[in-house]
Amino acid sequence: MAGLMRRWCGLLQPLHGRGGCSAGWRYDAAMTPAIADMLSDMLKTCPGLQFDGTPDNLYDEEQQSGLYHGPRCADWLIALSDPLLEKLGGLDAVTEAMRPCPVLPYEGGAVLQAGDAPGAGSDGDPESLPDYMRLGRVIEPVRAKNLRHVIAVPDPDDADEIIFPQERSDAWCTRFSGRATPRRRS
């Protein structure tokens, strides 16, 4: 799988990309409180799961938020373009920081691989995936920040609505970075 991602990245030249295990819902279906609750519980229990949905496509130019600035967080495979690798000190520095995990260069970037296979993790503990933690610390300087609408949960005040608590989204996006989520100022 890593070789296939490397090949496609060499052809498509993305700014960044990812591969691993994901949870999501059908794109033609509306997010309901029940689905939000189920997905939120899955993501809390299995830190290696990614979340797929329309939030990936949201971009707020004023806040410079969205995945146009870098990957959301660590995953089993993370592709980084040469400009992102340079922001991390270059390919050699990234390769050294990722040891013993593989870094697979391609023309225009490299694929960073966190272990032999994707992992779900256990008991909500990101430390149960040490290679994801390593990759998360490596990419933290270029990780997309200010991401909104990532984790949806049922609204405690209205059972028919969902909300996107920023603190919960921030905590989830930084779970592999090796640092606590910064508190937002009011």
Structure tokens at 86: 């340079």
DSSP conformation class of 176:
T
In the block, tokens 């390919």 appear at: 91
77-98 confidence digits (pLDDT tens): 999 999 999 999 999 999 999 9
Is residue 57 very low, low, confident or very high in pLDDT (cuts 50, 70, 90)?
low
In the block, tokens 């990419």 appear at: 139
Strands 109-113 and 22-24: unpaired
What percent of the chain is modeled with pLDDT above 70? 85
Please tell me the predicted confidence (pLDDT) of residue 108.
Answer: 97
Q: Are 115 and 176 in contact (CB under 8 A)?
A: no
Please tell me the predicted confidence (pLDDT) of residue 186.
Answer: 34
